Amino acid sequence: MNLNNLNVKELRKFAGELKIPGRWDMNRGQLEHAIERTVLIEEATKLGIEMPYSKTIEELKQAIADQRQKIAKMQEMLRKEREVTEKFMEPENAPTESVEETPKKKKNGRTRVINVFKDGELIETIEGLMETFKWVTDNNITNVGWVKRSLKTGEETNAGYKYKIGGYKFEYAN
């Protein structure tokens, strides 16, 4: 919003809508400053930024820009994670071609059995990698990337932002 295009009467009216105290005693410059600051503080609050009111307008603008950048990065990470998950998961609500249930055809190759350990204790044995991916997703344990990493390196999963509990280890059964 360009406050320069508004006259003092319009600025006071806008300041009243924002519930800025003392607006009747302010001159044009003070009104513009108070309005800009109030709008920035409201935007920062909507973005979840807790800032003391003693911050300058430039500090507020920088904090808002930083938060928007963090949100954009998180959205991009979530989009990539969704793509990976969709790539390895069968759609649950896929339409079936016939009413009769046909047995699943076994693909060429082997189906490997995967053991799931939690803090060193075997808690689940799952047949097939895709079933393991489905199990971890349904039980909100970790993402597909951590399953693959654990199978490859033997590492336990770490707790994170989305998955609060770590300590799961995935191994191929012999």
DSSP labels, 86-132: HHHS--TTPPPSSSSPPPPPPPSS-PPEEEEEETTEEEEEEESHHHH
Is 85 buried (19+), middle (13-18) or exposed (0-12) by CB count in 10 A? middle
DSSP 171: E
Confidence of residue 53 (pLDDT cuts 50, 70, 90): low
Average pLDDT of the residues in 42-58: 77
Average pLDDT of the residues in 33-38: 88
Number of other residues whose CB lies within 10 A of the CB of residue 44: 18
Average pLDDT of the residues in 112-141: 87
Lowest mean pLDDT among 67-76, 93-102, 130-139: 93-102
Mean pLDDT of the chain: 81
**Domain residue limits, the chain:** 3-85, 113-172
Q: Is 56 helix (H, G, I), strand (E, B) or coil?
A: coil
* Predicted local confidence at residue 144, as pLDDT: 86
Distance CA 24, CA 13 (A): 10
pLDDT at residue 10 is higher than 80: yes
Average pLDDT of the residues in 142-169: 82
Distance CA 114, CA 132 (A): 7
Nearest to 77 by CA among 69, 164, 14: 69
Confidence of residue 13 (pLDDT cuts 50, 70, 90): very high
For 111, phi then psi, to 5°, come to -105, 120
Q: Is 169 helix (H, G, I), strand (E, B) or coil?
A: strand
* Predicted local confidence at residue 129, as pLDDT: 86
Q: Tell me whether strands 113-118 and 168-172 are parallel, antiparallel or unpaired.
A: antiparallel
